[in-house]
Amino acid sequence: MTPARRGTTSCSAEVGRPGLWAAAAATYAVVGGGLWWLGAPSPLLFAALVAAVLVALRAPEPPAMPEALRTAGMAVVGTAAGASVDADVLRTVAREPVAVVGGVLVTLAVSMLVGQVLRLSRDVDGTTAIFASVAGGASGVALAAREYGADDAIVISVQYLRVVLVLVSVPLVAPLLGDAGGATAPDAGPGDPLSQLLYTGSAILLGLLFARVVRISAAPILGTLVASSALALSGWFPDASVPGWVVALGFTVVGANVGLSLTRERLRRLARLFPLALVQVVLGVLACAAVGVLFADAVGISRIDGYLATTPGGLPAVVAVAVDSGQEIGLILTMQFVRVFVALAFAPLLGPWLRRRGAQRRT
C-alpha cells in the first residue's frame, strides 16, 4: 500500500510540474494584460512577480533565478534608465543647476528620512528601510538591495506601493494646485529598430565589461547606466532608446527574481508590515509635495510644476499631467530623470557604507 501511494505521489508531482508552469504563464498573461488595460505602471513586472510567487508557493523546491539571467535583467534596467539622459536634460541642468540638483537631493533626503518610520517594525532593519524609501528607480534599487543584505521583497513591495499611490494621486492632486496653462508634447516620430538594437547592445556590452573590471555589487546596473547615458549623449545613434520588448523582458526578470524568493514566511511578514508601509508611503509623498511647493516658490514657477517635479515616482502619471497642464515640462522631466539616475547610481555607493555600519554595530 505504501509503495503504491509513493509512486502515485511521485507521478502526480511529475504531472503537476508542467501544470504549475502553465498556470504561472497564464497568470502572467492575465495579470499583465489586466494591469496594462488599467494603465498601471510596469505591468509586466507586477505580472511576473505574481506568477513567480505562485511557483514559489506551490513548487516543492522553487527554482532559483539563474545568475546570468539576473545579471541581464539588471543590465536592461540600467540601460533603460540611462537612455533617458539627452542633450535637453543637460541643457536644463546647466541652466538651473542649483534648482535641479538641490531639488533632487532634497527629495531623496526627505524620502529616506521619512522611510525610517519602517524601522518601527521588527521585520525591517536600517538597510532595508533606506533602500525601500529611496525615491526613484524602484526596480533597479530593489535589485541592488539584495546585494547589500537588505530584504528585497520588502524593498520592492514598499517601492511599488509608493509608485501606485503617486500614480493614483497625481491626477487628483494636480487640479488642486491650479492649471498652469497647458502645453503640447513634442512628436517623438517613428522609432528606428536597428538603431535601438545597436544602441542597447552596445550599452549592455560596455556596461557588463565595466562590471567585470569594477568588482562591486550591482555593478551591472551602474555600468550600463553610465554606458547608456554616454552613448545617448554621443549622437552616434539616430534612435538612442531601448526597444519596448527588451524593457519588458528586463522587467519580467526583475519581477520573477523577487517573486521566486517570496516564501510563505516572507509573505506573512509583508502582510504584517503593510499598515506601517502605507503610513510611511503617505508621509513620504506628502513631504515630497511640500518640497515641491517650496521649490516652486523659490524658483518662480507654478506650484503644480514644482509638485510634479518632485513626486517620488509615478513617472507615467507625471508625464501625462505635465503635458496636459504644465508649462515647465522640460524642468519637470529633467528633475524626474535626474533623480532616477542619481538613485540608481547612489544605491551601489550607499550599500557598502550601510554594510560596514551594520557590521560595526554587531561588534
Domain boundaries, the chain: 2-362
Distance CA 256, CA 56 (A): 10
The 10s digit of each residue's pLDDT in 81-110 is: 778 777 776 777 777 788 788 888 888 888
Element (DSSP H or E) covering residue 232: helix 219-234
Buried/exposed 321-345: b ≥16 CB within 10 Å, e otherwise: bbbebbbbbbbbbbbbbbbbbbbbb
Q: Name which residue leads in pLDDT, 21 or 313.
A: 21
- Grid cell, residue 120, equals 518601527
More confident call, 335 vs 144: 335
Rounded CA separation 222/213 (Å) = 12
Residue with the bigger pLDDT between 77 and 275: it is 275
Query: What torsion, rounded to 10 degrees, do the Cα atoms 322, 323, 329, 335 define?
Result: 50
pLDDT of 231: 92
Percent of the chain clearing pLDDT 90 (strictly above):
7
Band the pLDDT of 257: cuts 50, 70, 90: confident
- Residue 181's pLDDT is 43
Q: How many residues does the chain have?
A: 363
User: What pLDDT digit, counting tens, does each position of 318-361 carry?
Assistant: 655 665 555 666 677 678 777 877 777 776 666 666 666 655 55
Q: Pick 18 or 133 by higher pLDDT.
A: 133
Mean pLDDT of 176-199: 65
| 8-22, 44-58, 121-135, range with the lowest pLDDT | 8-22
First and final CA of the chain: distance in angstroms?
56
Q: What is the pLDDT averaged over residues 151-172?
A: 75
Q: What is the mean pLDDT of residues 35-40?
A: 77
Cell output for 190: 517613428
pLDDT at 41: 59
Write the DSSP symbol of residue 305.
H
247 contacts 76 by C-beta, under 8 angstroms: yes
pLDDT at 14: 41
Give the residue, 230 or 189, on which the prediction is more confident: 230
Nearest-angstrom CA–CA distance, 141 and 63 = 23
Which grid cell is 62?
Answer: 522553487
**Sequence-separated (6 or more) residues with CB below 8 Å from residue 18:** none
pLDDT at 319: 56
Residue 1 has pLDDT above 50, yes or no: no
3-state secondary structure of 192: coil
pLDDT attached to residue 304: 83
What CATH architecture does domain 2-362 belong to?
Up-down Bundle (1.20)
Measured at the alpha carbon of residue 72, what is the angle toward residues 78 and 204, in degrees to the nearest 5?
55
Centroid of chain to Cα 80: 11
C-alpha cell at 333: 522631466
Distance between CA atoms of residues 16 and 175, nearest Å: 52
pLDDT above 90: residue 199: yes
